């Protein structure tokens, strides 16, 4: 029986494990390893911060995978040994015939001790408590580095904060501002999407500061490299991220720490039975570090493994598209970008706006239920 080992129970790993088992059934033994006990629907973290969800509503036990014929092992991955087809974990050494690495990126310490980061369950709950006692003032939302998961996240949270302050009755005593290293919101997606995001921010009275590279956080102020300063009473800041440590210290790593993979198949050129997907590799491929991209990669890689074993490709082609419903609290935006030219090395992504309006938020909420029902319940 062929052994398929999946490292990481996030979007990409969860999809890949399910798809491999669905395509190959009893022909494969699928094991998913994750240090956590639960899979969490990460797009819902801000909903927890703003009281729309409780923690248990956005998570499911990874042990549920056993009902789908997928073995789940709670352990921390310590080292990769692709020459020997081995993975070292805190639960012992594991062997495999195929390896799918979807370990995500590594969060680094925040440069601001007083900053909130609602992009984890713990961070979301801390921001909720801060908002509970917030009586109004200056709110600043920003990024600490150019590399962070979910590019739209700062703008979504800024919009949701503004709406929360309005509901709380302290909006007239508050200001909300957003800063980013890029000159415009989601600049890599082109002027149409940037313009629409700016339009929504402006309609909510949220100021945007582009080309703002933070170099110092002190005394309730963030200072930019060019000398600009923003003062705040409440700071919401994405932490910096780096290539996953286990991967960058393995034979899979390239010169910048990210693994080297074929840009069209995500297969390691040195180890053809190893695939790397999601935030572990996407920044090096100029793909956005987003769950939807990892989702499509997981589906595709599962089909490639099935084709290796069946002798003919039986999955879907890789869908190089990123769609992300941006929830601004009382409005929503659905942008879409196709990354065909990026992967081919021939140009920039092709992007456009698919929908705008309050009803778009409902679609995101419905997708949350669909996600759990099809993958882990």
Give the model confidence (pLDDT) of 250-285 as tens digits: 999 988 889 999 988 999 999 999 999 999 999 889
Domain shared by 93 and 17, yes or no? yes
Q: Is 67 exposed, middle or buried (0-12, 13-18, 19+ CB in 10 A)?
A: exposed
Give the model confidence (pLDDT) of 146-183 as tens digits: 888 889 999 999 999 999 999 999 999 999 999 999 99
| Pairing verdict, β 175-179 and 70-74 | unpaired
Asked, for residue 30, whether it belongs to a domain, the answer is yes
What span, in angstroms and rounded, lies between the C-alpha atoms of 87 and 76? 10
Asked, for residue 373, whether it belongs to a domain, the answer is no
Asked, for residue 184, whether it belongs to a domain, the answer is yes
Using DSSP, state whether 179 is helix, strand or coil.
strand
Q: What's the confidence (pLDDT) of residue 189?
A: 87
Q: What's the confidence (pLDDT) of residue 344?
A: 85
| CATH code (residue 177) | 3.50.50.60
> What residues make up the domain containing 311?
2-105+243-319
Domain shared by 120 and 234, yes or no? yes
In the chain, what percentage of residues exceed pLDDT 90?
Answer: 82
Structure tokens at 97: 């015939």
Give the model confidence (pLDDT) of 84-116 as tens digits: 999 999 999 999 999 999 999 988 999 999 999
| Pairing verdict, β 332-338 and 350-356 | antiparallel
Q: What's the confidence (pLDDT) of residue 185?
A: 95
Asked, for residue 229, whether it belongs to a domain, the answer is yes
Domain shared by 270 and 232, yes or no? no
Asked, for residue 266, whether it belongs to a domain, the answer is yes
| Pairing verdict, β 214-218 and 98-101 | unpaired
Number of domains in the chain: 2
What span, in angstroms and rounded, lies between the C-alpha atoms of 366 and 308? 35
**Rounded (to 5) percent helix, strand, coil in the chain:** 35, 30, 35
Asked, for residue 167, whether it belongs to a domain, the answer is yes
Q: Which of 195, 213, 240 is the last residue of a domain?
A: 240
Q: Name the strand (E) or helix (H) holding 222.
A: strand 221-224
Domain shared by 225 and 120, yes or no? yes
Q: Is the pTM of this model over 0.85?
A: yes
Confidence of residue 315 (pLDDT cuts 50, 70, 90): low
Domain shared by 128 and 162, yes or no? yes
The mean predicted confidence, pLDDT, of the chain is 94
Domain shared by 137 and 62, yes or no? no
Structure tokens at 126: 């801390």
Asked, for residue 331, whether it belongs to a domain, the answer is no
Domain shared by 195 and 255, yes or no? no
Domain shared by 249 and 235, yes or no? no
In the chain, what percentage of residues exceed pLDDT 70?
Answer: 99
Confidence of residue 311 (pLDDT cuts 50, 70, 90): confident
Domain shared by 135 and 231, yes or no? yes
Domain shared by 48 and 155, yes or no? no
Q: Which of 191, 224, 240 is the last residue of a domain?
A: 240
Confidence of residue 318 (pLDDT cuts 50, 70, 90): confident
Q: What's the confidence (pLDDT) of residue 314?
A: 64
Give the model confidence (pLDDT) of 202-241 as tens digits: 999 999 999 999 999 999 999 999 999 999 999 999 999 9
Asked, for residue 330, whether it belongs to a domain, the answer is no
Domain shared by 70 and 167, yes or no? no
Using DSSP, state whether 118 is helix, strand or coil.
coil
Backbone angles phi, psi at 350, to 5 degrees: -100, 115
Domain shared by 35 and 71, yes or no? yes
Give the model confidence (pLDDT) of 328-360 as tens digits: 999 999 999 999 888 888 888 899 999 999 888
Asked if 296 and 321 touch (Cβ cutoff 8 Å), the reply is yes
Residues 6 or more apart from 190 whose CB is under 8 A from it? 348, 349, 351
Over 80: is that where the pLDDT of 317 sits? Answer: no
């Amino acid at each position: 029986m062929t052994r398929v080992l999946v490292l990481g129970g996030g979007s990409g790993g969860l999809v890949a494990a399910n798809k491999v088992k669905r395509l190959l059934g009893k022909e494969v033994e699928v094991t998913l390893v994750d240090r956590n006990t639960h899979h969490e629907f990460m797009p819902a973290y801000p909903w927890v911060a703003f009281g729309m969800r409780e923690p248990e509503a956005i998570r499911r036990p990874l042990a549920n995978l056993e009902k789908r014929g997928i073995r789940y092992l709670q352990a921390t991955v310590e080292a990769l040994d692709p020459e020997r087809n081995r993975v070292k974990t805190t639960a012992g050494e594991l062997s495999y015939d195929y390896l799918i690495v979807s370990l995500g990126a590594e969060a680094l310490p925040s440069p601001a001790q007083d900053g909130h980061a609602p992009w984890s369950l713990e961070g979301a709950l801390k921001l909720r408590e801060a908002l509970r006692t917030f009586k109004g003032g200056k709110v600043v939302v920003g990024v600490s580095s150019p590399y962070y998961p979910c590019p739209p996240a700062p703008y979504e949270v800024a919009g949701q904060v503004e709406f929360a302050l309005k509901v709380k009755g302290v909006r007239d005593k508050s200001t909300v501002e957003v800063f980013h290293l890029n000159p415009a919101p989601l600049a890599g997606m082109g002027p149409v999407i940037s313009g629409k995001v700016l339009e929504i921010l402006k309609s909510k009275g949220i100021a945007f500061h582009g080309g703002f590279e933070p170099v110092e956080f002190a005394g309730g102020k963030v200072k930019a490299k060019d000398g600009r300063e923003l003062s705040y009473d409440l700071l919401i800041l994405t932490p910096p991220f780096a290539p996953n440590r286990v991967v960058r210290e393995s034979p899979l790593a390239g010169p910048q720490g990210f693994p080297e993979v074929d840009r069209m198949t995500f297969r390691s050129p040195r180890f053809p039975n190893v695939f790397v997907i999601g935030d572990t590799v996407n920044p090096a491929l100029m793909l956005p570090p987003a769950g939807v991209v990892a989702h499509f990669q997981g589906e595709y890689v599962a089909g490639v493994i099935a084709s290796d074993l069946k002798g003919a490709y039986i999955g879907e082609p890789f869908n190089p598209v990123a769609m992300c419903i941006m929830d601004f609290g009382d409005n929503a935006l659905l942008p879409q970008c196709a990354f065909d030219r990026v992967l081919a090395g021939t140009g920039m992504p092709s992007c456009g706006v698919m929908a705008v309006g309050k009803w778009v938020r409902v679609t995101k909420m419905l997708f949350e239920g669909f996600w759990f029902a099809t993958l882990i319940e």
